[in-house]
Structure 1
C-alpha cells in the first residue's frame, strides 16, 4: 500500500514540477492560436480551458488506462513504476509536445508535423500508420462497450434477445460514431464529453475508496515478474499498459484540442495535466487488479484467470462489483461504457482530419466529410469482426511505435527551436527500444527469442539516437529556427 501512495504522490508532484519545467522548455507566449486565428466553426472552435481538459482526458483515456492497467497488473505491482515514471517523463511530455507543436502550426495533425521535422518519407509513413491506428482504436473502443452493454443486460433478463446481442450494440455505437464524427466539434463533444470526463474521474475514485473500505491490500512494488504465464516484463508490459503511461494514440488526439485552445499557456493544464490525470486513473485500476485477486506462489493467478475466463469487459465489471457494488457499479459501468465510446468517435474524427490534411480536402463541405467518414466507419466495422485480443495486441504495438515516432518529431522540433531537446530524446530512445524489442519478440510479429530480441532492440534504439544526433547536434546548424 505504501508503494501505491508514494507513486500517487509522485504523479501529483510531477505535474507541478516536471510539468512546469516542460512548459518552460516549450515557451508559450501571447501569439494567436489556430482557434482564434482560423475559427471555422467546425474543427477550430475556442472552448473554455476546463472543458478542453476534460475532453482531452476523455479522448486519450477511454478503455485504455482501465484495460491496459488491468492487463499490466498481471505482472504485479512492478506496473506501478512504469505508470508513474512513464507518465511524467514520457506520456505527458509526448502529449504536451504534440499539442504545442500543433498550435504553432495551424492545428496540423501528427503526420503533417512529422513530415515537417523528420522528412517526407516519415510523413507518408505516419499518414498511413496513424489512419490505420485510429481505425483500430475506434474499433477497439466500440467492441468493448458493446460487449459490456450486452453483458449488463444479459444479467438482468433470461434467454437470448437482440438486447443481449453484442453485434446489435456494436451497430448502435458505429451509428453514433458517424454522427459525432460528422458534426462540429462543439455540438456533441464540447457539450456532452466534459460530463463523461467527470464520470471517469469519479469512477476511479470510487474504485480506489472501495479497495480500502472492503479490506483489500495493495501489494508493495517488486521488480520480479508475477505473470503466471511467465511472460517477461520487458518489453511486453511496457507495450500492454500503453495509454496508462505513454501512448501514440494521444498524438492523434492532442491536435483536436490544439485547434480549440484560446492561448498557448493553456497547454500545460490541458495536455500535460490530462495525461497525469490518466496516469492516476491507470494507477488506481492497476492497484485494484493487484489487490482484488488472489496470488498463488507469488504469481497473479486470480487476475490472470478472470481475464482469460471473462475477458477485459467482464473483469472491469467484477472489479466494480467487488469494490463498490450497488449504486457504485451503475456509475462505474456508465463510465466504462460511455468513456471508450467517446474516445472511439474522436479516433474516427482524427482519422478524418488526417486524411483531410493529407489530401488538402475542404471540410466545410458536407459531401466531402461524408465521403471520408463512411469508408472509415466501414473499415472499422470489418475490423470489429476479427479476434478482439489480436486487434488489441496489434493496436498496443502500433500505438507505442507511433509514440516513438512522435517523440523523435518533438525532439527535432525542440532542437531546431534552440530548446532542451534531451527532454524528448531520452524517452524517444527508450520507446524505440521498447517498440523494436517487442516487434522482434512477440509471437504475432517475428517471435524471436529474448536472447536475440533484447540486444537487437537496444542496438536499433542506439542507431536511432545516432541518426538523430548526426542530423541535428553533429550535423548542419544552419537549419535551426528562431526560438
Structure 2
C-alpha cells in the first residue's frame, strides 16, 4: 500500500471539508454575522479579552487543542490496522471535530464568551451544570497532570530537545512584544520566528541538556514536572498576548513547516505501508476495536477538550464572528492533518511488517515513540536529513504541542476555580492567583500523591481520559444543538455526531467498567462509575432541555 494514496485521500477530504462543508455550516447552520459585537470587543481588557488577528488566534486555538494527543491516539490505534484509524481521523475531522470546534466557539461568543460548563447551566439547568463541571474538571486534571509526565519523558529521552523546547518560550516572548508593542509586520515576525525555532532545533542535538540523577532529592522526571508546572502557572497569569498567543501562533507555524517537510518526504520517498489494512492477528489482551477505536483516537477526530479551549480562551479573543469558521473548523483540520501524519509515520516508517509487529507487541504500545522513530525514518529517506536532527525535530514538535496544551489547560483550570468562586460566593477563589495555585496544587497532588516520588500519578487515571473526553464532546454538542433549536436553525449536523459520540463513549465506559471490576482495580472502577452516572444524568437533562426548546419553538410558531 502506497503511503502517498493515504496522504492524498486524507488531506484532500479534509480540504473539501474546510472549503465546502464549513461554508455551509457558517451560512446555513450557525448563520454568522460580523454585525454581531464579539465579547473580545465588548469586554476588551488587555488580559483575557483581546481582539486578535484570525491567523494568530488560529495558531493559539490549533496548538492548544493539538498537544500530543493527536499523535499518541492514532499511533496507538493503528494496532487494529491502518484503515479504521484512517477512516475515523478523516471522516471525524470533516463531520465531527470541525463541527464541534466551530460550534463551541459560536455558542460561547453568542453568550458573552462563557465556558461550556456555564452555558450548560443557562441552556440546560443548574443541576446539569454542577455535574458537568465535575466532568470538565476531571478532563483538565488528566490533561495537565499527564502532559507534565509526557513532556518530562521527552526531555529525558532526548536531551537535544531541551534547548529548542525552552528556547521557544524566549522566541514567543519576543514575538508578542514585536506584534503588540512594536506593531511590526505579522509576516516578517512570522518568518523570523520560524527561522529562530528551526535554528534552535538544528543546534539542539549539539547542546544536549540532562538533569543530574538527583535534584534536591528529586528524580529528573519529578524535577522536570515541577519546573513545568511553575512555568505553566506563571504563563496562565500573564496576559494572553504576552506569551500564550505568540507561543501558540509560532508553534502552529512550526508544526505546519514540520508537517510540510514530512509530507514532502512521503511524496519523495513513497514509503510502503507495512502495517495490515485490518489487523486480524492483534496481540493478546487487545480490546475490541468497537467502541475502543473511537475513544483511543479522540484528538484528531473529535475531542471534548477542544470545546473547553474554544469556550474558555478562544472565544474571548475572536475579533469578528466570521473568524469562528477559520479558527474553529480549520483548527480542527490542522489537527486532523497531524493525526494523519502520525498514522503514516506509525505504519510506513518501518522496514518490514515484522519490525512493525515488534513495536506493536501489546495494546498501548507505539504512540510518540512510533511517531518519532517512524517519522524520522521517512524524513531522512525523503530529504536526506540526519536521523538525529529529524528525530529531534519531531520530538520538539510533540513536546511543544504538549506544552502549549498544558499552558492553556492550566489557564482553563484556573477559570473553573474562578467560576466556582463566583457561583458559590467564595470571593478569594474567584481571584486569579489563588485559583492558579489551586489548579497547580491539585495537579501536583495527583502527580505525586498517586504516583509517588517520580510524579507519574497522572497516568493512574489516564485510562479514563478517552471516554471522559469523548463524553465531554458529545455533551458540548448537546448544548450547541439546544441553542440551534431555540434559534430555529437546522440541528441534524450537530445532532448526528453527538448521538454517535455519546453512544460509543457510554459503550466504552461500560466495557472499561467491567475490565476494572475483573482486575479488582477499585479506584478506577469507582472513577469510571462516577463519570458514567454523571454522563447519563447530564445527557437526560440535555434531552429534556432539547424537548423543551422544541416545544417552545412550536408554541412560538403557532403564536405567529
* TM-score interval (norm. to shorter): 0.7 to 0.9
The answer to whether residue 142 in structure 2 is matched with residue 65 in structure 1 is: no
Q: Distance in 1 between matches of 2:79 and 2:458?
A: 19
Q: Distance in 2 between matches of 1:134 and 1:338?
A: 18
Contact 1:133 1:399 in 2 (8 A): yes
Q: Which moved more, 1:226-235 or 1:212-221?
A: 212-221
Contact 1:55 1:189 in 2 (8 A): yes
The answer to whether residue 251 in structure 2 is matched with residue 202 in structure 1 is: no
1:75, CA displacement in angstroms? 1.6
Q: Distance in 1 between matches of 2:140 and 2:96?
A: 21
1:305-384 matches, cutoff 5 A: 305=361, 312-324=367-379, 325-360=387-422, 368-384=431-447
Q: Which moved more, 1:249-258 or 1:438-447?
A: 438-447
SS in 1 for 2:554: coil
1:121, CA displacement in angstroms? 1.6
Aligned to 2:45: 40
The answer to whether residue 236 in structure 2 is matched with residue 181 in structure 1 is: yes
Contact 2:76 2:364 in 1 (8 A): no
Q: Distance in 1 between matches of 2:138 and 2:57?
A: 26
Alignment counterpart, residue 142 of structure 1, candidates 142, 145, 148: 148
* Runs of 5+ unmatched residues, structure 2: 161-204, 380-386, 519-531
1:296, CA displacement in angstroms? 5.3
Q: Which moved more, 1:376-385 or 1:155-164?
A: 155-164
**Considering only aligned residues, what root-mean-square deviation do their CA atoms show, in Å?**
3.3
Contact 2:64 2:309 in 1 (8 A): yes
1:345, CA displacement in angstroms? 1.3
TM-score (ref. length: structure 1): 0.87
> How many residues are matched?
467
* Runs of 5+ unmatched residues, structure 1: 449-455
Q: How big is each residue's C-alpha offset from its partner over 1:33-92, in whole Å with a ceiling of 9 and x where there is no partner?
A: 000010122110111111001111101001011111211222211210000111111111
Q: Distance in 2 between matches of 1:307 and 1:90?
A: 26
Q: Distance in 2 between matches of 1:225 and 1:51?
A: 45
Alignment counterpart, residue 16 of structure 2, candidates 13, 23, 38: 13
Contact 1:227 1:300 in 2 (8 A): no
Aligned to 1:451: none
Q: How big is each residue's C-alpha offset from its partner over 1:355-402, in whole Å with a ceiling of 9 and x where there is no partner?
A: 323332899999921111111111112323355654332111110010
Q: Which moved more, 1:35-44 or 1:379-388?
A: 379-388
Q: Distance in 2 between matches of 1:85 and 1:419?
A: 23
Alignment counterpart, residue 54 of structure 2, candidates 49, 53, 56: 49
Contact 1:363 1:369 in 2 (8 A): no
Contact 2:148 2:229 in 1 (8 A): yes
C-alpha spacing 1:433/1:14, structure 2 compared with 1 (3 Å): same
SS in 1 for 2:37: coil
1:411-426 matches, cutoff 5 A: 411-426=481-496
1:476, CA displacement in angstroms? 6.5
The answer to whether residue 532 in structure 2 is matched with residue 477 in structure 1 is: no
The answer to whether residue 227 in structure 2 is matched with residue 165 in structure 1 is: no
Aligned to 2:31: 27
Report the structure number with the largest CA radius of gyration: 2
SS in 2 for 1:477: helix
Alignment counterpart, residue 74 of structure 1, candidates 69, 76, 79: 79
SS in 1 for 2:240: coil
Contact 2:345 2:371 in 1 (8 A): no
Q: Which moved more, 1:246-255 or 1:151-160?
A: 151-160
Aligned to 2:247: 192
Q: Distance in 2 between matches of 1:43 and 1:159?
A: 35
C-alpha spacing 1:115/1:223, structure 2 compared with 1 (3 Å): farther
Q: How big is each residue's C-alpha offset from its partner over 1:171-214, in whole Å with a ceiling of 9 and x where there is no partner?
A: 11111111111111111012222111112222233333344545
Q: Which moved more, 1:465-474 or 1:195-204?
A: 465-474
Aligned to 2:305: 249
Contact 1:246 1:403 in 2 (8 A): yes
1:320, CA displacement in angstroms? 3.9
1:252-267 matches, cutoff 5 A: 252-255=308-311, 256-267=313-324
SS in 2 for 1:420: coil
Q: Distance in 1 between matches of 2:466 and 2:304?
A: 9
Q: Distance in 1 between matches of 2:65 and 2:482?
A: 24
The answer to whether residue 307 in structure 2 is matched with residue 235 in structure 1 is: no
Q: Distance in 2 between matches of 1:98 and 1:367?
A: 24
The answer to whether residue 503 in structure 2 is matched with residue 437 in structure 1 is: no
Contact 1:19 1:268 in 2 (8 A): yes
TM-score (ref. length: structure 2): 0.76
SS in 2 for 1:418: coil
Q: Which moved more, 1:105-114 or 1:284-293?
A: 284-293
C-alpha spacing 1:238/1:120, structure 2 compared with 1 (3 Å): same
Contact 1:211 1:217 in 2 (8 A): no
Q: Distance in 1 between matches of 2:426 and 2:327?
A: 25
C-alpha spacing 1:159/1:124, structure 2 compared with 1 (3 Å): closer
1:478, CA displacement in angstroms? 4.1
